[in-house]
Amino acid sequence: MTSELPPSAAPDSRRFVFREGALVGEGSAPDVRRGPLAAADSWLVDAGRVRAIDLHRERFFGAAAAAGFDDETLLGMFWEAALGAIPPLHRWFPRQLHPREPPVQRRDPGSDRAAARGGEQWELALTMRIAPPLSGSVVLRTHRGADPRGIPAWKGPDLDTLASLRSAARADGVDDLVLLTTGGEVVEGTASALLWWRGDELRMPPREFERVDSVTARSVAAVAAAVGVPVREERATPAELVGTEVWAVNALHGIRVVSAWVGDGGGGGTAASAGGDRDPRTGDVRGGGADGAVAVVAEPGRAALWQRRLGALARPLPGAALPPGRS
Does residue 318 form part of some domain?
no
Beta bridge partners of 167: none
Q: What is the pLDDT of residue 320?
A: 56
Beta bridge partners of 258: 138
For 8, 9, 92, 250, the CA distances from 87, given in Å and listed in that order, are 6, 9, 8, 22
In sequence order, which residues have a C-beta less than 8 Å from that of residue 88 and are 6 or more positions away? 8, 47, 48, 317, 320, 321, 322, 323, 326
pLDDT above 90 covers a percentage of the chain that reads: 62
In sequence order, which residues have a C-beta less than 8 Å from that of residue 281 and are 6 or more positions away? none
Kindly report, residue by residue over 41-87, the tens digit of the pLDDT.
999 999 999 999 999 999 999 999 999 898 999 999 999 999 999 99
Does residue 180 form part of some domain?
yes
Same-domain pairing of 161 and 201: yes
Helices (H), the chain: 53-66, 72-85, 112-116, 159-170, 215-227, 302-311
Same-domain pairing of 122 and 216: no
For 13, 74, 86, 124, 253, the CA distances from 78, given in Å and listed in that order, are 19, 6, 13, 7, 26
Same-domain pairing of 116 and 242: no
pLDDT above 70 covers a percentage of the chain that reads: 74
Does residue 160 form part of some domain?
yes
Domain span including residue 181 = 137-311
Give the residue from 110, 183, 119, 197 showing the smallest Cα distance to 156.
Answer: 119
Q: What is the pLDDT of residue 239?
A: 87
Instruction: Provide the whole-model pTM.
Output: 0.81
The chain-wide mean pLDDT, for the chain, equals: 81
Kindly report, residue by residue over 24-44, the tens digit of the pLDDT.
998 544 444 466 789 999 999
Does residue 197 form part of some domain?
yes
Same-domain pairing of 41 and 79: yes
Q: What is the mean pLDDT of residues 215-232?
A: 99
**Half-sphere exposure in the Cβ direction for 290 (13 Å, CA):** 0
The enclosing domain of 235 has a CATH number of 3.20.10.10
Give the length of the chain. 327
